Structure 1
Amino acid sequence: MKKFKTLADFVGTHFIYTYDNGWEYEWYAKNDHTVDYRIHGGMVAGRWVKDQEVQMDMLTEGVYKITWTEPTGTDVALDFLPNEQKLHGTIFFPKWVEEHPEITVTFQNEHIDEMLAAREKYETYPKLVVPEFAKITYMGEAGVDNEDAISEAPYEGMPEDIRTGKYFDENYRRINK
């Protein structure tokens, strides 16, 4: 298994992880300032995002913190410990996302105006704070700026297809586009 030491070791890695509450996420460190992700389980399962701007830092060797605010107003803080195959995430959902999660279950990039409108229309406070540990169940070497890593909506069984080698070829390109 790869040993993570530097930020460069982390950037370009594609992860699948499951939080202790059962929510399954797929997340790709596309470069040192943007990420792509898909949500496979939990209250916003089916949501996917490309090119989310983030703050990405290495806290110490092999430990990484990534933070961002989505157009929904949701704040996210992830602490990755890939050498231990775990992470800790805290998601701060605005009240409107807790009450109307279905609005966010889409390809966000094509619905930014709807996210911003919902943020203005509905209550944002109090936030639903979800702090959870997660087990990393997959780490792939997608490389930097690989548009194939996360390029379609999530489907039932996708994480298992990825974990078992049925989704990407040897060059980390999608099979059966």
Structure 2
Amino acid sequence: MDLKAHIRGIADFPKPGILFYDISTLLAHAAAWRAAVSRLAALIRPYEPELLAGIESRGFLVAAPLALELGLGFVMLRKPRKLPGETIGLDYALEYGSDRIEMQADAVAAGKRVVLLDDLLATGGTMAAGVSLLRQAGAVVPATAALIELSFLGGRQRLDTPFESLVAYES
């Protein structure tokens, strides 16, 4: 199944000059979504994860069903002040500003193998920050993955883990 046929591009969203790759149409097509989860499972399984982590918010849509498919737990990396209890966080730089991600302090036991997922890898800043946050918590991060990679933005080069994706756009 051609997964690209189920991902639509929306021009000038969220601002002029940006082509947004919308996974809503993939999620709405049961067979395509099933194929995507199965293919991601095949890519991730060799890294022998013990947990999966997803980056807010579309990363949750990818990591949660994949965790079920692989029989694993799921951890959320969220925007500030969205998680109850004690949290740990990391501030990181973006191209035009900064952001912060947090996770519950007790979400990952030291030494656990955690694969980090998101819906899309662009410049790699958020994914790299997520890897750093997981490591700060004591996790081992054997790999990262996303449904979509915008390879022309070079995000993969910012990561110090193997990276897997199902669909790549070259421009």
More strand by share: 1
Q: What TM-score results when the alignment is normalised by the length of structure 2?
A: 0.28
More helix by share: 2
Q: What TM-score results when the alignment is normalised by the length of structure 1?
A: 0.27
